[in-house]
């Protein structure tokens, strides 16, 4: 009788603590969420930072030497898409380098979002920037200085 009560109590405690442990593990990047929003690619990787989270799917296109990426928010809305190359390197990230860690969105212009990569050990890595069909970086913004005032 006591064994049965202890076993039942143990199962209840395990169930109660499993959800917070699961959420903390997802938040710290120890594992991927069990479910994903509708419309998010099955290849998308969940990436989370202290401030943001996103589902990111990137693939290497060897023929065009670009990475083709899409990213969605937690509700499944597309927040970034397009062709990308490594910032300052004029080449795509190779499959071994293609470990998306975060997305820096550009409000109202998902084709101008940046995608941050991580190194194999989980340390911050390089940045993917959007490029046009010719492989040239797209202008994210321009600052014009005129009469001492700035405008974007």
Q: What is the mean pLDDT of residues 81-88?
A: 95
Task: State the pLDDT at residue 27.
Answer: 64
pLDDT > 90: percent of the chain = 45
Query: Does residue 12 surpass a pLDDT of 80?
Result: no
Angstrom distance (rounded) from CA 74 to CA 36:
8
8 A C-beta contact, residue 117 and residue 62 = no
**Is the distance from CB of 19 to CB of 33 less than 8 angstroms?**
no
Report the C-alpha gap between 56 and 47 in whole angstroms: 7
What does the pLDDT read at residue 140?
63
Mean model confidence pLDDT for the chain? 83
What are the CA-CA distances from residue 52 to residues 64, 72, 134 (Å)? 31, 11, 31
Neighbours of 93 (CB within 10 A): 24
For residue 94, the model assigns a pLDDT of: 95
Domain positions in the chain: 1-31, 45-131
pLDDT digits (tens, 9 = 90+) for 98-152: 999 999 998 889 999 999 999 877 777 899 999 998 888 887 654 434 444 444 4
pLDDT of residue 31: 63
Q: What is the CA radius of gyration of the chain?
A: 21
Tokens of 50: 């202290």
CB 49 within 8 Å of CB 29: no
Burial (CB count within 10 angstroms: exposed 0-12, middle 13-18, buried 19+), residue 103: buried
Average pLDDT over residues 29-37: 76
pLDDT at 26: 63
Band of pLDDT at residue 56, cut at 50, 70 and 90: very high
């Amino acid at each position: 009788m006591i064994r049965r009560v202890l076993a039942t109590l143990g199962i209840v405690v395990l169930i109660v603590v499993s959800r917070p442990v699961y959420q903390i593990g997802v938040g710290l990047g120890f594992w991927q969420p069990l479910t994903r929003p509708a419309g998010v690619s099955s290849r998308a990787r969940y990436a989370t930072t202290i401030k943001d989270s996103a589902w990111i799917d990137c693939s290497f296109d060897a023929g065009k030497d670009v990475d083709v990426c899409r990213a969605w928010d937690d509700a499944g809305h597309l927040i970034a898409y397009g062709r990308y190359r490594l910032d300052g390197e004029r080449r795509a990230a190779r499959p071994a380098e293609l470990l998306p860690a975060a997305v820096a969105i550009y409000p109202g212009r998902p084709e101008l979002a940046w995608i941050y990569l991580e190194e194999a050990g989980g340390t911050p890595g390089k940045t993917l920037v959007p490029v046009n069909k010719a492989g040239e970086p797209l202008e994210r913004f321009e600052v014009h200085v005129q009469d001492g005032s700035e405008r974007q």
